[in-house]
Each structure stands twice: as C-alpha cells, then as structure tokens.
Amino acid sequence: MLKMNIRLNMIKRHKGSSIDSLQKWDITRRYKAFSHVLILSCLGLLASWAVFSTVVPGTDWHRMGGIQSMATTLARFLPPDINILPELVKPALETILIAVIGTIFGAVISLPIALLGAVNISPLGRLGYILARGLMTISRSIHEIIWALIFVSAVGLGSFAGILALAGRSIGFISKVISESIERIDGGPIEAISSVGGNKIHVILHGIFPQIMPITISTIIFEWDVNINRAAVLGLVGAGGLGLSFHNQFIASNFSGITTVLVVILFIILSGEAISAFLRKKLT
C-alpha cells in the first residue's frame, strides 16, 4: 500500500509529463534500490567473513564461560576503589601537562611546516612543498603509541617522552589544516604588501597570519583536547601520566582500582572538552 501511494504521488508530481519520463523515473528508482541492496549484501558478507574467519576462531570461548561467569568478572570492577584517589593526583596533573606542553611544542613546529606546505606561497619552492607534505603524512601515519615507544627508547621513561610523542603526532594535523587554510586566503593583502616593497617576512606577518589566526587557534585548541585523551594512555608504554597508574593497577589485579583510574581519565577528558569548547567560543 505504501509503495502504491508513493508511485501515485510521483505520478501526480509528474502530471503532464510523458509516459517515457515516468518509465525512466521508475527504472532509475528500481536501479537505486537494487544498488542499495547489493551494497548492503556485500557489506553483510564481508562482516560475516570477518567474524567467522577471525573473531570466532580467535576467541577463547572456554575461558569466557557463560553469561553468569562474564557478569561475575565484570562485577569485580565495581565499586571504584576510592582509597587510591590521592595516588592519582600527581599522574593526573602530569597527564594534563603532557597534553598542554606537547600540543604547544607541536604547534610551534607546525607553523613553518605549514608555510612550506602551502602551495600558493611555499618559500622553498617545490622541494620545500614535497618535504613539508611528507612530514605531515609521516606524522599522521604513525600512532601516538608508536611515537611514544620511539621517544621512550630515545630519551628514556617519563613525561618528556610523552611530550615529544604528542608533539610528533600533532604536527601532521595542525600543519595540514593551517597550510590548507593558507591556500584559501585572499591574495589581495599579499599583493598590496609586496607592491609597497614588503619582503616575505612582512607578507607572512601582516598578510597571512591575520587571515589564518582564527582557524589556527581553533585547530590548536582542538588538538589539545584530543591530546588529553592520548596522554592518558601513553603511560602504558612508559611515557608518564595516568596510563602508568592504569598499568600498575592492572598488574596488581586491583580491578576496582582500574575502574577508579578510568573514572579519573573520563573526568579529565570531559573537563578538557568543556574547556576546549569554551576557549574556541571565546577566542574565535
């Protein structure tokens, strides 16, 4: 009945059109419906293949037990162990500082890379553009945990490795957004500054930066928000912060303590999102 009503409504809308037009509309509609069914069927087959080829044979069903066993295991995580809260104050502050300093460090490095990677100005020409774009791609391609492992092996355990890891991970996103915003700027101010004898530094300071400042500030604040989340897990590989506390609770099999660490991480992330939204609203 519904399909018939739809067809009648479409015929009314095409009132006055030729029979051929209505037939073309009907064929197009059937083709789209067939395409949707075909795509969903392929996705369903792909998901089924993934489940039966990896999930089912790769799961320890004997250890998992039944629903009651799973419920008993999950119950060990409740309630949170509030006795360890004093121990989490310092790692929590360390996590926030790692995110702040890592983001600032990454943003400072990102600015010259963004200038080199903007095709409309690229001070060092094609070579500088390729180099900058390559650095952006490498930064984004490597996960923050991998960056942390690299810097832990280079500078040792601790928060400094976490700061370097977040800076390395942030460069790709910040510099890419800024370089693309530079490519979209109005060329009028640049031509005006150049016509009165301004050099490249004058062009950058007075012709480019004023135009990209809002998107730059917004991007850095957004990246800081994301880095709080990243900083919370870097301690798992020895880069300081709450991740190390999580690892210690896990090794000690203190499941209630694990829940407490997760609650503190959640609180920091939610606070970071609220502060990030407030700053973006006020500064941009």
263 pLDDT above the threshold of 60: yes
For residue 239, the model assigns a pLDDT of: 73
For residue 40, the model assigns a pLDDT of: 93
Q: What is the largest CA-CA distance in the chain?
A: 79
Cα gap 253→238, rounded to integer Å: 19
Query: Does residue 79 have a cis peptide bond before it, meaning omega lies within 30 degrees of 0?
Result: yes
Residue 165 · residue 239 · CB < 8 Å: yes
Percent of the chain with pLDDT over 90: 8
Region label for 104, one of left (φ > 0), alpha (ψ between -120 and 50) or beta (otherwise): alpha
Closest CA to 240 of 101, 141, 138, 139: 101
Residue 267 carries which DSSP code?
A: H
Cα gap 137→116, rounded to integer Å: 14
Cα gap 241→91, rounded to integer Å: 5
pLDDT digits (tens, 9 = 90+) for 33-67: 888 899 999 999 998 888 887 777 777 767 666 77
Average pLDDT on 120-141 reads 85
- Of 47-51, 130-134, 200-204, which gets the smallest average pLDDT? 200-204
Residue 148 · residue 162 · CB < 8 Å: yes
Q: What are the phi and psi torsion angles at 156 (to 5°)?
A: 95, 175
For residue 29, the model assigns a pLDDT of: 81
Average pLDDT on 95-117 reads 89
For residue 41, the model assigns a pLDDT of: 92
- Alpha-carbon 197 to chain mean position: 42
pLDDT digits (tens, 9 = 90+) for 206-260: 888 888 888 888 888 888 888 888 887 887 777 777 878 888 888 888 888 888 8
Tokens of 140: 């984004």
Residue 136 · residue 176 · CB < 8 Å: yes
Q: Which residues contact 269 (CB under 8 A, 6 or more apart)?
A: 228, 229, 232
Residue 78 carries which DSSP code?
A: -
Closest CA to 150 of 159, 135, 162, 140: 162
Tokens of 25: 């509309």
For residue 283, the model assigns a pLDDT of: 66
- Residue for token pair 């099999």: 253
